[in-house]
Amino acid sequence: MGKVGQLLSHPLELKAALKLKLFRKPLFAEAESEKTPELKRCHELLKLTSRSFASVIMELHPELRNAVAIFYLVLRALDTVEDDMTIDSKIKIPLLREFDTKLELEEWSFDGNSPTEKDRDVLVDFTAILKEFHKLKPEYQKVIKEITHKMGNGMADYILDENFNLNGLQSVKDYDLYCHYVAGLVGDGLTQLLVLANFSSKDLYEENVHLYEDMGLFLQKTNIIRDYAEDLEDGRSFWPKEIWSLYAEKLSDFAKPEHTQQGIYCINHLVLNAMSHIQSVLHFLASVHEQSSFQFCAIPQVMAIATLSLVFANPKVLHENVKIRKGTTCYLILKSRTLRGCVEIFQYYLRDIKKRVTVEDPSYLKINIQIAKIEQFIESMYQEQLPAGVKPKETPIYKKVMDRSEYDAKVAVTEEDEEFKFNIGFTIFLTVIAAIYFAYK
C-alpha cells in the first residue's frame, strides 16, 4: 500500500498530515538575510544527512539553533569517519582520537572517505562548519568540543576491541556502555546546552545525570532492536549476547524460519530492557521549559516508543527494517507538543504492548510489572486519582509537571486554533465538492 493509500485508510493520520502541512506554523522562522555563505552550506549539509532532523533543528529557538546544528554536524562528521570501513585503521584511529582538536583550527577538511560514502560532504566541507563553530558562544563551543573528544575516543576504543569486533556485545553492561558512547553522550551535550541557555530546570544536568543518559539509551536501543536484519547483513552485531543467547546458539539463527518464535521472544526481552528508561524520559521532558527545545527533545522519544511497539512481537524485524507510517509520524509530531500529549502517547503504546504479550512469553510477567511501574510513575506525575479532599504530594516530579503544565496551556491555545482552521477548511472543501456534484448531476 502506497503512502496515499495508508493515509486514506487511517483518517486521523490523514487529518494530522493536512494540519501539519497547511496549518501548523514554526515557532521561530529562519532569517535568510542573516545567513552567511558558510551557514547556508551548514544548513544544506543538515538536509543532506537527515532532512527530517534538519527541519526540527531549523525550528529551534535562535539562541540554540546554530549551536545544535553545528553540534549535530560535528558528530555526524565523526560518525562518518568511524562508519567508513574503507579508511585504514592507521588513519582512522588517530583521527577519531584527535578529532576534537580539529575544532581549534580555522580551516580543515578530509577527503579520505570512500566516494560512495553518503555523508562524505560533511567532512569535505568541514571548513564551513568550523567557521560557524567559532561564532558560537565560548561555553557552547566548550560543550561540543568536550563531547566530541569523549565520543571520538569511545569509537576508537571499540574499533581496537578485538572481542567486540569478533563477537559483538557480550553483556547488558557492555550494551549500555556502547549506547552511552553513541547516544548517551549526545544527550549529555544537548542537556548542557539547554541548561546554559536557561531553557530547562537548573538541576537537569548536575543532579539528574541518569535522565539524559536514559534519553539517549532509549533511542539507541530502539534503533538497535529494529535494525537486526540490516546489521546482520552488514556483518555487525549489537544485540547483547547475555540476552540473545537465552533464545538461540547463534544470533543469526533468528533469521531462520524454525527459530522465528524464539526470535520474537528475544525481541520482546530487548523491548523490556529498553522500557526501563521510560520513566527517566518522561522526567526529563517535564524539566524542559522552552517550547521549541521541548519539541526537539520530545519528537524522537515519541517516535521511539511508537517504533518499540511496532517491533514488539513482530517477526518482520528478523528479516527487514520496519518503520512507522508517515501519517503516524505526522500525528506524533502534532500531539507531542505538550507533556500531556507525550504521556498519552507513551500510555497508548505501552498498553498496546501489554495487550499483545502472550502468557507463553518468558518475559510476560516482567513486561507487565515494568508497564505497571511506568503507569504508577505517570500517576505520580499528575496525581489526578486522589480521593476527594486529599491534596497532592509536593514531590519533585509533581512540581516539575505543574511548572510544565503552564507552558502546555499556551500550546493548547495554538492547537485549538489549528483545529478551528482545519474544520473551516474542511467544511469549505466539502461544500465545494457538494456544489460541483449537484451542478453536474
Q: Tens digit of pLDDT for each residue in 178-197?
A: 999 999 999 999 999 999 99
* Of 178, 228, 247, 265, catalytic: 178
Give the pLDDT band (50/70/90) at residue 390.
confident
d(CA 400, CA 412): 18
pLDDT at 17 over 90: no
pTM of the model: 0.91
For 261, the domain range is: 168-385+392-440
**Total count of residues recorded for the chain:** 441
Q: What is the CATH number of the domain that holds 52?
A: 1.10.600.10
Domain count along the chain: 2
20 domain residue, yes or no: no
Known catalytic residue at 164 = no
Query: Is residue 21 situated within a structural domain?
Result: no
Show contacts of 205-211: CB within 8 Å, 24+ apart.
208/283, 208/284, 208/287, 210/280, 211/280, 211/283, 211/284, 211/287
Query: Which one from 140, 175, 247, 296 is the annotated catalytic residue?
Result: 296
Alpha helices in 278-338 (DSSP H): 278-286, 291-311, 326-335
Pair (260, 352) in one structural domain: yes
Q: Could you confirm whether 41 is annotated as catalytic?
A: no
Is 349 considered catalytic here? no
Report d(CA 122, CA 352) in Å as an integer. 40
- What would the pLDDT profile of 335-384 be if each residue is shown by its tens digit? 999 999 999 999 999 999 999 999 999 999 999 999 999 999 999 999 98
296 assigned to active site = yes
Identify whether residues 205 and 141 lie together within a single domain: no
Check residues 24 and 266 and name the one with the higher pLDDT: 266
Measuring CA to CA, which residue among 441, 433, 418, 435 is closest to residue 19?
A: 418
Q: What is the pLDDT of residues 242-300, one digit of tens each?
A: 999 999 999 999 999 999 999 999 999 999 999 999 999 999 999 999 999 999 999 99
Nearest by Cα to 341 from 305, 386, 385: 305
**The one catalytic residue among 41, 65, 120, 226:** 226
For 180, which DSSP code? I
Whether 341 and 420 map to the same domain: the answer is: yes
Same domain, 120 and 183: no
> Is 59 among the domain residues?
yes
